[in-house]
Chain A
Amino acid sequence: MNRLVVGFLAILLSAGAAHAQVTEVRYALISGTASAPVTGQCTKGYSDQCISGNCSCVTVTGATVGPFSTCFAAPNCPVLAGKGTADLYLTFDDGLVMPGASTGESAECVPFFGIAKLTTTRARGTISVKEKLNLTGVSCQPTTGGAKTVLGGFGVAVETNGGTGFGKIRGFYPSPAAGPISLTLHGPITQ
């Protein structure tokens, strides 16, 4: 009888633990193909802002969401959102470019405000998640050419299961127009 009670308690505790929200530093990789910029700001959520009045909108539809490559080898890598797809809307504020040299060079670090709409599953596909992340940062053009570097931050705006959190963004953005984009995110996420 005692064994039965202990068994039931163990099952109840493990079920509770499965649904308990935990805060830890989690990681995600969003990679896809960015569209060519279109004149004007995007119109989705946090991306719908153009401080200078001179903006362009870049969209990424059907991007892949998954863990960092370094996480594939780790058995218990804390993943942000899980695996699935994302649509990104990025407003680049071209008029807010940081003033650069007085010699005619144009500085090429452009601020952006964006939103990522994620549709994913986690916990081996047992939990479905829809999530909106607000993104902001800059995209800097290397003087030597090649892909632009993205640095910034993000926050969880909406998560269907009540998840919250924020973190940092680092990645690459195509130059000069459409092409592959890759963003890595990490930060303390409660989910």
Chain B
Amino acid sequence: MRKILILIAIAVLGFKVMPALAQIPYNADFQVSGNLGISSSSTACSTGYAAFCPSNHTCKCLTASQASLHNASGGSITIPPGVTTVDVAKDVTDVTNTPPGGCFPAYADVNYVSTDGTAHATINIFATLCKPVVAGGPLSFSGGGAIEQATLIDVFPITVTGWGTLTGTYAPTSTSGQNLTLDLMASGNVLF
């Protein structure tokens, strides 16, 4: 009886430390869209990487409504319908130049949970938010992002890791509809 218990214990321990069965590299283009509000507050965001405002800086938290996370690359990874939230903390203290205040560091995170709860993802972002390069154009994001704790779907739920460069646009004068786009060109691994 004692031997059986020891064997079971070894099996359980072995299972816990067992690496993923398969690890497959991927390249994917994750896109986020939404309506990013204009912040009147002078406080940092409260959660995740977007809360990473230096203590002696002033940050303005922008939150997107009607946001959604897509996979635009047409690969086998799918992102079921769900709820996406986007928080962007714009560091107004660390502006690159005054006047005219052209570019600001921005800390952001995107959180997604599928409606049925089987899929979820967090994307952490550091980017520079710049005024329009061309008159009349949108503001632009230029930076990078990393995928944290993502379970998405490829027939079955899969763990997705990765990071990459990020670009985006933000048109604050457009108060309705989709005024925010973020595009993360990610590379990483899918773990089955």
**Chain A residues engaging chain B, CB cutoff 8 angstroms:** 25, 46, 49, 51, 96-103, 105, 107-109, 111, 113, 134-140, 142-144, 149, 151-157, 164-170, 186-188
Contacts and interface: CB of A to CB of B under 8 A. Distances in A.
B159 A103 contact: yes
A149 B165 contact: yes
Contacts of B102: 153-155, 165-167, 187
For the complex of A and B, list the 4 residue pairs with the smallest distance between their C-beta atoms, beginning with the closest.
A166-B102, A155-B97, A155-B96, A101-B161
B166 interface: yes
Nearest to B96: A155
Interface of B: 20, 25, 49, 52, 54, 94-97, 99-103, 105, 124-131, 133-135, 140, 142-149, 159, 161-167, 187-189, 191
B126 A96 contact: yes
A135 B104 CA distance: 10
16 contacts: A51-B52, A101-B162, A101-B189, A103-B20, A109-B126, A136-B96, A137-B142, A138-B165, A139-B144, A143-B188, A151-B167, A153-B130, A155-B95, A166-B103, A186-B133, A188-B133
Contacts of B131: 166
Nearest to B144: A109
Contacts of A134: 96-97
Contacts of B133: 25, 167-168, 186-188
B134 A96 contact: no
B94 A136 contact: yes
Nearest to B159: A103
A96 B57 CA distance: 15
Contacts of B147: 100-101
Contacts of A144: 187
B163 A153 contact: no
Contact of A170 (B127, B142, B146, B161): B142
B97 A166 contact: yes
A188 B97 CA distance: 13
Contacts of A188: 133-135
Contact of B143 (A97, A138, A186): A138
A142 B20 CA distance: 22
A166 B100 contact: yes
B187 A143 contact: yes
B130 A151 contact: no
Contact of A102 (B105, B126, B128, B148): B148
A101 B147 CA distance: 6
B130 A187 contact: yes
A166 B134 CA distance: 11
B126 A153 contact: no
B96 A164 contact: no
B163 A98 contact: yes
Nearest to A103: B161
B49 A98 contact: yes
